[in-house]
Structure 1
Amino acid sequence: MTNEPRTSTTGTATGVPAALTADEAYAYTSGLRLDPRTANPEDWRVDWHDGPWPVKVYTGGRRLRLGPDGAPHLAALHRLLYDAFAISRVRADPAGGVHATPSDPRPHRGSSVQLRRPIPSGGSMYPTEAYTVLTGEDLGCHYDPYRHELTRVRGRGTVRAVRTALGMSAHEPLPPALLVITSRFWKNFYKYGDFSARLGAVDAGVAVGRAGRLARAAFGHADVRSAFDDAALHACLGLDETVENVQAVIGLGHPGTGTGKGAPPPAAPEPVPAVLERSRVIKRSVRFDALQRAARAPGRTPPRPPSPAPTVPADDVPLGLPAPHRPDLLAAPVLARRASRGRLFTGSEVTGERLATVLHHTAEGLRELARDCPDGLGARAAETALYCAVHRVHGVAPGWYRYLAGPHALLPVGAGADPGCARRVQEALFAASFNAELAAFTVHVVTPLDWRDAAGARPYREQQLAVGAAVEGVTLCAAAAAEDLSGHAVLGFDVTAMDRAYGLEGSGSGTQAQVCVGALRSDPNWEIAVIPR
């Protein structure tokens, strides 16, 4: 262990990079969408033996145990953090899993034991971190997902500093607690390099989607913010913005409902815990760092003209879907089933009701995010659309569709009816690590492509957060639709081929992520649930 790992920089510039302009950021991020295999230099190699810890490790500092007892807001926080961020399962794979990158798909043997969390994460890297601000106690804490406890990182004065960072007046009421979601760059960068500029934001969006759902259930209300002073939030939580950045802040509960009757703030200053790093060398990228700096600029979401309608085959009309089921999306068995139970689909056909359930509740989740987030993230969620390649769904012809949430129907688009659509989805994968062709259907998340405004790259970050929230919705709803369904999300696929299939070329919109949904073969490796000590 060492607190001061050596840093190496990829690229030609030295020192602190200037923030990318909006046009430079657009060119950079467009390349990440079109082909992540070209994101890194040709000599990019992963040092599999020098990766980061699976969790952020603090040494020192006071700790607060979480559990179902105690103050109501702490009991609710216990449920939320455990069901979204905790290490809740341990998976054993004697072969060590398969480590690969978009530019180097060759398998590499890894650890035979993997620590799993309730939310999906690209490559199971889990780069998101969760912090809480307990407004009654005036404490800022980091959530330790391994021990399921809070580490105090800031004491008295935290609430005042957070108000300033959020642009709130001194008299504006606060909820009982705030959840701050960050992205820890090296957790993804060590494996994916520059592609983690996109992957990390999508992962944070998955966490925002799950935490928002849980907050509405546990606290009765969620207020999501993506517009704030990044540097001020980093300062009040003791974060180094060169290695970690705040992505979103979620108010837990209705403002003004905090009792303030928790433990009083300590009289003496809080001891500041130190962060331990496992990696000896932490690589940096000039372009990656410059994008992060650009994303810290305050964002604004100007009105945008509506995107042109996708190409619709002649004489096609929307296909009405069956009424969706009303499953309990946050039931314990559903959250447990959400974890991928293998990578190979069986090719089984599913009912129209299951397809309808996944699409309806995913769209509903995006609507709730747009409602609960009045700033840029809400606008990006509102313009995020769901498209679907139907492979094997009873009563629905194979082909390419757009989901219309209002009439709850599928609109044939692009190539329309296409018996070979499953094969085309398979061929679009950059690395054929699973059999997407045998999924029952594939959901594609589609957004407007040009996110630029006059304020840097924050709108891009908000767009990818919305994409992640949609991915979380599809995977969770797939688990809730039936016990034998699961969703497998990927970002590494030929978006140009999928855009062409949906008739999106020239429309100003494009595919951002895909989730294959279907019944999976039994996983030969065992996975067990764990509970906090």
Structure 2
Amino acid sequence: MELETFVHHLHFNTEKVAPPDWQVDWEDAPLPFKLYRDLPEIPLSADVPLTLAKGKVQTELGLKELGHFLWYVYGISQYAHTALIEDNKKTADMSYAQLFRRFVPSGGALYPNELYVYVKLKDAPVGIYHYDAAHHRLLLLREGNYDSYLSRSLGNSYDLSESFCTVFVTTFFWKNFYKYNNFSYRLQGLDAGVLIGQALEVANAMGVSPQVCYQFLDKSINHLLGLSDQDESVYAVIPLSVNPNIYRADNQYTKLEGVSATELCREVPLLEPFSDNRSKRVIDYPSIRKLNGASMFETTESIVKIKKESNVKHSLDSEIIFLPFAEHFSYDLASIFRERHSPDLDFIIGSVSLLQLSVLLKETFSFSYHSDLDDRQGGIENRVSLNGCFYNVEGVPNGAYAYDKSAHALRRIARGDFREYLQNGLTMPNVNLFQVPLVLHVIGDREHLKKELGYRGYRIQQMEAGILLQRLLLVSCALGMGGHPLLGFDVNPCDELYGIDSKEKTSLIQIPVGPYRPRAWLKGRLHT
């Protein structure tokens, strides 16, 4: 399949990306976490604080605080024993699944990402580590100072001498390909974005300054981590610092001309640590490997800035509903992490007040983050936005709306109750949208930033959608509601409903939000 066709089908014709006779081999499923063998280990403290209210800016952190950060970002937080009912037409058989949950949502709870860290702390050897979530520990892959190597791999945009830790978010392709086949590529970018969003939330709460880098020399960084990019590849690099000014503006550094990944790889020896994923038979995924290869940067000359443009041009004659002013909404992050889950069939019909909607939309966009896509802090709202279909919202006629962040207002697109329309568009009807008052859609560029970033733009767009999604889910939970991310929907009727198909925009993900009933389940938290 040609890459252009593959990317188009991933978004607009999802039924065409997997074989019609695809069968999941559950017995040969991979582990939900990566396990290395025979590496030096550093246990991390299990004495994790149970509150995460935003505090003062940090002046110095140690291994203990890094352990807290990693656990809240991607540690295993819950063991769930779930009953599955299989309807074979004659009888309804019951089976059970045991799942290791984390604080972030993931498609099918498969968690295809892994975390690696470049640590520079007084109480640990300087070097590259894998975060072993299964045992809450660090495993040393490569010892030594790699500031210069990494800075050049990132286009010399960051002063890594000021960073106490650099986080690498990778995607391990097989971890969810075994279930979703080629559709897993879309899930992988979104899952990585949700994980980045969680890292931003935790870092800000701990008084640490994070910077997100999407553009780098892939092969040199994969080489440093000992990864085969046929199996696993870095999607984002996040330097952490107690100094909020480690990012260098264009006039503060000299761009490196012609630095290539191939040249950098020669500077450090090959690393081939042994790891096990449990699967005995790994099926090839040539389309994903080809797309991942086409997305890689070989030289720093490929690194660009995205020109700032208005993300959505609103019709001047559309009806406007100005949302009420809402004071800053504060909550304890750790408590929300523990409470948040995806309600699926547990939504119950209920009303949403105008103030609740106002807080939800305002707080979802109230954060800013620094990435290498922009010249300064912020910018995500220039590339992704929110539309929604609302039912039974106080003071808002039933209908489809676009959220105008600059005016903190809703702009009406169409009047009516669109619950049946959206329900019919679900390809996996695991949510009853008749029970949901808010169905939100993250909107992005239809060409997936391809003009500026090539095929790399697709996964970057998915990651930015994931960042916004995670923020929306946390705020929804803090307001006493649940949010359920859905990719099992047909984007074409949604784009037609909002009238964005003609504006070169598209719906990236669907998120039902509303009240829900507590589920009866047996679960064990891995904290007190």
TM-score class normalised by the smaller sequence: 0.7 to 0.9
Structure 2: distance between partners of 1:476 and 1:526: 23
* Alignment TM-score, normalising by the size of structure 1: 0.83
The equivalences for 1:72-151 within 5 A come to 72-95=61-84, 111-136=96-121, 137-151=125-139
Secondary structure of the residue aligned to 1:45 is: coil
The equivalences for 1:320-469 within 5 A come to 320-324=322-326, 326-341=328-343, 343-365=345-367, 368-369=368-369, 374=374, 382-413=382-413, 416-418=414-416, 420-450=417-447, 451-453=449-451, 456-469=454-467
Q: Which runs of 4+ in 1 moved over 4 A?
A: 107-111, 169-172, 255-258, 269-273, 304-308, 370-373, 375-381
Q: Give the drift of 1:524.
A: 2.0
- Asked whether the 8 Å contact 1:299–1:376 carries over to 2, the reply is no
Stretch of structure 1 that moved more, 269-278 or 291-300: 269-278
The verdict on how the C-alpha distance between 1:449 and 1:302 changes in structure 2, with shifts beyond 3 A counting, is same
- Asked whether the 8 Å contact 1:225–1:249 carries over to 2, the reply is yes
Correspondence for 2:11: 33
The verdict on how the C-alpha distance between 1:244 and 1:324 changes in structure 2, with shifts beyond 3 A counting, is farther
Are 1:317 and 2:319 matched, yes or no? Answer: yes
Stretch of structure 1 that moved more, 455-464 or 430-439: 455-464
Structure 2: distance between partners of 1:479 and 1:197: 28
Q: 1:233 aligns with which of 221, 230, 239?
A: 221
Q: Give the drift of 1:270.
A: 13
**Structure 2 spans left out of the alignment, 5+ residues:** 49-59, 247-268
Q: Give the drift of 1:88.
A: 0.3
- Asked whether the 8 Å contact 1:85–1:145 carries over to 2, the reply is yes
**Structure 1 spans left out of the alignment, 5+ residues:** 1-10, 12-23, 100-106, 259-268
Q: Give the drift of 1:302.
A: 5.4
Correspondence for 2:253: none
Q: 2:504 aligns with which of 501, 505, 508?
A: 508
Structure 2: distance between partners of 1:78 and 1:125: 22
Matched letter for residue 112 of structure 2: P
- Asked whether the 8 Å contact 2:79–2:525 carries over to 1, the reply is yes
Structure 1: distance between partners of 2:19 and 2:454: 25
Q: 1:478 aligns with which of 476, 479, 484?
A: 476
Q: Give the drift of 1:160.
A: 4.1
Q: Give the drift of 1:460.
A: 1.4
- Asked whether the 8 Å contact 2:151–2:158 carries over to 1, the reply is yes
- Asked whether the 8 Å contact 1:134–1:140 carries over to 2, the reply is yes
Correspondence for 1:531: 527
Secondary structure of the residue aligned to 2:369 is: helix
Q: Give the drift of 1:369.
A: 2.8
Secondary structure of the residue aligned to 1:388 is: strand
Aligned-residue identity in percent? 27
- Asked whether the 8 Å contact 2:444–2:508 carries over to 1, the reply is yes
Matched letter for residue 467 of structure 1: A
- Asked whether the 8 Å contact 1:446–1:512 carries over to 2, the reply is yes
Stretch of structure 1 that moved more, 512-521 or 150-159: 150-159
The equivalences for 1:193-208 within 5 A come to 193-208=181-196
* Alignment TM-score, normalising by the size of structure 2: 0.84
Structure 2: distance between partners of 1:245 and 1:524: 38
The verdict on how the C-alpha distance between 1:52 and 1:201 changes in structure 2, with shifts beyond 3 A counting, is same
Secondary structure of the residue aligned to 1:231 is: helix
Structure 2: distance between partners of 1:454 and 1:404: 25
Q: Give the drift of 1:377.
A: 12
The verdict on how the C-alpha distance between 1:159 and 1:530 changes in structure 2, with shifts beyond 3 A counting, is same
The verdict on how the C-alpha distance between 1:221 and 1:499 changes in structure 2, with shifts beyond 3 A counting, is same
Q: 2:20 aligns with which of 42, 48, 54?
A: 42
Secondary structure of the residue aligned to 2:387 is: strand
The verdict on how the C-alpha distance between 1:154 and 1:362 changes in structure 2, with shifts beyond 3 A counting, is same
Correspondence for 1:242: 230
Q: Give the drift of 1:26.
A: 3.9
Q: Give the drift of 1:138.
A: 2.1
Number of equivalences:
482
Q: Give the drift of 1:337.
A: 1.2
- Asked whether the 8 Å contact 2:223–2:270 carries over to 1, the reply is no
